[in-house]
A and B are shown apart, each in its own frame.
Chain A
Amino acid sequence: MTAEAPVVLRMRGVRKHFGATAALDGVDLEVRRGEVHALLGENGAGKSTLMKILAGAHTPDEGSMELDGRAYAPRGTQEAARLGVAMVYQELNLAPDLTVEDNVMLGRERGSVGFVRRSDARPRIREALALLGRSEIDPRERVAALAPAARQVVEIARALVFEARVVILDEPTSSLTREDAERLFAAVDRLRQSGVAVVYISHFLEEVVRVAQRYTVLRDGRSVGGGATDGTPISSMVEQMAGRKLEEFFPKTPHQAGEVVLDVRGLAGVRMPREATLALRRGEIFGIAGLVGAGRTELLRSLFGLDGVRKGDVQIRGETARASSSRDRLAQGMGLVPEDRKHEGLALALSIAVNTTLSNLKPLASWGFVSSSRQEGATRRWIERLGIRCRGPEQVVGELSGGNQQKVAIARLLHHDASILLFDEPTRGIDVGAKVEIYKALGELAAAGKSILVVSSYLPELFGICDRLAVMHRGVLGAARPIAEWTELEVLDEAIRGDGARRAAAGEEARP
């Protein structure tokens, strides 16, 4: 049936550059009427850029788009919505204090003299909710009172009420329970049957196979494959997603792992992680892979005392380190470079000197007065050591490029003389040249006897720099293995399905 259905949305050779980086480098996509079309790809493959182009938030540099056979070039999200392309974002776009119907109509209220006439829209909203199989949702309910799954349905209903022809769902199940996900699948299926084309983005491939009829794989900004989901094994999808050669940009500094310096047993956070056990050695780079939302960031934050710890045991250099604050952890020689550089990692409005020395001002001060010459001297040393390109220690960090900002964050750990370094997505959003320099710096730090824990969603990077690797799946950290014993395929598979399948295949009873 789908084979005969007309193409609703067609993209040809779409390209999009941000500065020097190509986010999309030639994407073809065909979505037919009444189908769920899955968009697959690793983090950074270009899915979100593609979606934003579809939803009118970005305009493509090159390439053509057609909607129902007519040229489609929305100049903004409003226009895209008017033309019938609706986007349901991962972080839901609802005002929690408004009612369901007010949310659905938000920005498109019809009324007289400024008064909203709710009675007009209500039947249509009820109809949409019923079509999605969720007629029990009351349009007059406040959105805050709804479960996450119901909120998602409200977003989809919004698209239906305004007669969207293409609905884009971005990781719709990432925050849903199993049962809620099931109900969502049912709603998506009804949506499809009503003739709407659904673009479905998800990491969970089992889900994709169940929900979608066809799929397209993005890799490095290009569409590299696709077809019918029926009869395509998951493993072949994974191969298409991962199938890239390991780029040769991982400078290796030889380093030798020594004694265990950080021993974590059964660590559980308030919500995430659910269970994490790992042993980090001196002079070692230990990688943690996993999907976004698997609990990797939370693991680092609980280790560093920023998030609460529910249970588990953390030993630093053989001594039990009680659940504590980041202040204590810094004193114990641990440092964290968080994922969110702009809001947490750095104080962008302040100088390089302040950012570098903030966690360890005491040695630069006497009687509480910080010597500016000593502060600048210390900062200059790290600027030279790490090759931070800047005008000098007094330059404001916000003016630096992403890569140089990241180096300032690393400089802070070095100035603090931390020996256990936690990195969350250390190369996210920085250009290739700067990435290589960060990899080089990490290798040199390990060679100097520091212990490094790296969370990354970019597999080639983990394979390029790590000595050992473990995968996190829905809050549980799997067993670590030397990097040589992993393949990218295995990592992706474990990230998506957990290590249960592998363990069963190996005939293991439980993790050692």
Chain B
Amino acid sequence: MTAEKPGSARRLMTLVGPFLGLLGVIAFFALVAPEGFLSVYNFKTVATQTVIVGLGAIGMTFVIVSGGIDLSIGSVIALSSVACALSLRAGQPPVAAALLGVLTGMICGFVNGLLVTTLRIIPFIVTLGMLGAARGLAKWLAGEQKIDAPAGWLADVMTKAPEPAWLTVSPGVWVMAALAALAAIVLRRTIFGIYTFAIGSSEATAVLCGVPVRRTKIQIYTLCGLFAGLAGVLQFGRLTVGDPTTAMGKELDVIAAVVIGGASLNGGSGTILGSMVGAFLMSFLANGCNLAGVPNYVQEILIGVIIVAAVALDSLRQRKK
């Protein structure tokens, strides 16, 4: 263990870049938008704002590590928030509504996985189809309106003033942190996680080694759907309405977060911690722009530039090898 560079140390090295990026963004806005940016309150706000993208990024990390992509996350978030709201309006308790929202996401993911593996269509197209279908379904179910429903305790999950006060940040942030920790272990230390890396690194090798590629891929997309579904439930908690037009384009933020976090779109590499750093970077960027009075469209341009820059960095890294 002394002469070699252990795997965990190597992985930490790949996290240096994203961390520096995050610190850079924070430092930049601390200078540009001094009023309020560096306050505890603002950091709590950013943390809460990160939850939706962060949860999506956990699921997306699995998909991207396996060499796939899921473009349907934003639409699935909207669909599951609508499902959750409809269930509450029908008088179901919040627990049942939340579970239904998560289940909705899982079903979408399962369908994605099934289509990718059985029809052998590339994930880009399958999930692009789901992006349209899930959004349409959400609008249909909601009658193209926002759905008011008694949110119950679901509204407290994303509050910035949590009870009890020792929680400091909203329960949603803790949920995200706990799931990220769990997902990191699953991705690194379980057979499922190793299969995910193997498929993304070289699918032919995975087949050669008897990895159940189809089953694993379906599980991966279902897992991604689960996280999108959960994000949808929390999005409902935040808005306290089921909004079929919510999270439009969120998939780009999520993919950006994962790529900034060091995952390669060619598959075979990526870490949950990196993706979390990427998610926070995206949130700080949006938050800082808002405080500095930078218009929305500039933010969108910035996000576009950052995605391309992160991928360019990744391909530079690959070439150096």
Q: Which residues of A contact B (CB under 8 A)?
A: 306, 325-327, 329-331, 336, 338, 340, 343-351, 354-355, 358-359, 361-362, 365, 368-370, 372, 391-392, 394-395, 398, 412
Contacts and interface: CB of A to CB of B under 8 A. Distances in A.
Interface string B187-204: 001111010011001101
Interface string B1-28: 1011111001000000000000000000
Interface of B: 1, 3-7, 10, 185, 189-192, 194, 197-198, 201-202, 204-212, 268-269, 321
Given A326-B207, A348-B201, A391-B3, A368 B190 contact: yes
Contacts of A336: 208
B189 A372 contact: yes
Given A327-B210, A391-B3, A350 B191 contact: no
17 contacts: A325-B210, A326-B207, A327-B210, A344-B208, A345-B208, A347-B197, A347-B205, A349-B268, A351-B7, A354-B198, A359-B210, A368-B191, A370-B194, A392-B4, A392-B6, A394-B4, A394-B5
Nearest to A392: B4
Given A347-B201, A394-B7, A354 B194 contact: yes
Contacts of A330: 209-210
A306 B198 contact: no
A358 B5 contact: no
B207 A394 contact: no
B170 to A, nearest CB: 31
Given A344-B205, A349-B269, A370 B190 contact: yes
A368 B186 CA distance: 9
Nearest to B321: A398
Smallest CB-CB A-B distances: 3 pairs: A392-B4, A391-B4, A359-B209
B3 A348 contact: no
A358 B202 CA distance: 12
Contacts of B198: 347, 350, 354, 358
A10 to B, nearest CB: 39
User: Which one of A329, A347, A350 has the highest number of Cβ atoms from chain B below 10 Å of its Cβ?
Assistant: A347
B210 A362 contact: no
Q: Is the interface of A mostly helix, strand, loop or mixed?
A: mixed
B185 to A, nearest CB: 8
A347 B190 contact: no
A358 B216 CA distance: 14
A329 B209 CA distance: 10
Contacts of A329: 210
Contacts of A306: 207-208
Nearest to A328: B210
B82 to A, nearest CB: 34
A274 to B, nearest CB: 24
A448 B321 CA distance: 39
B205 A345 contact: yes
Given A347-B205, A359-B211, A368-B192, 18 more contacts: A327-B210, A327-B212, A330-B209, A331-B210, A340-B204, A343-B202, A343-B204, A347-B198, A350-B268, A354-B194, A358-B194, A358-B206, A358-B209, A361-B194, A369-B190, A392-B1, A395-B4, A398-B321
Contact of B189 (A338, A355, A370, A412): A370
A365 B193 CA distance: 12
Nearest to B192: A368
B206 A347 contact: yes
Contact of B204 (A331, A344, A392): A344
User: Which one of B5, B10, B192, B208 has the highest number of Cβ atoms from chain A below 10 Å of its Cβ?
Assistant: B208
A392 B10 CA distance: 13
A347 B197 CA distance: 9
Contacts of A326: 207-210
A354 B197 contact: yes
B304 to A, nearest CB: 28
Nearest to A350: B201
User: Which one of A349, A362, A398 has the highest number of Cβ atoms from chain B below 10 Å of its Cβ?
Assistant: A349
A361 B185 CA distance: 16
Contacts of B202: 343-344, 346-349
Nearest to B5: A391
Nearest to A368: B190
Nearest to B204: A344
Contacts of A392: 1, 3-4, 6
Contacts of A361: 191, 194
Nearest to A364: B191
B201 A349 contact: yes
A383 to B, nearest CB: 11
Contacts of B208: 306, 326, 336, 338, 344-345, 359
Contacts of B185: 369
A331 B211 CA distance: 12
Nearest to A340: B204
B18 to A, nearest CB: 19
B206 A394 contact: no
Contacts of B269: 349
Contacts of A347: 197-198, 201-202, 205-206, 268
A391 B189 CA distance: 21
A97 B129 CA distance: 27
Nearest to B1: A392
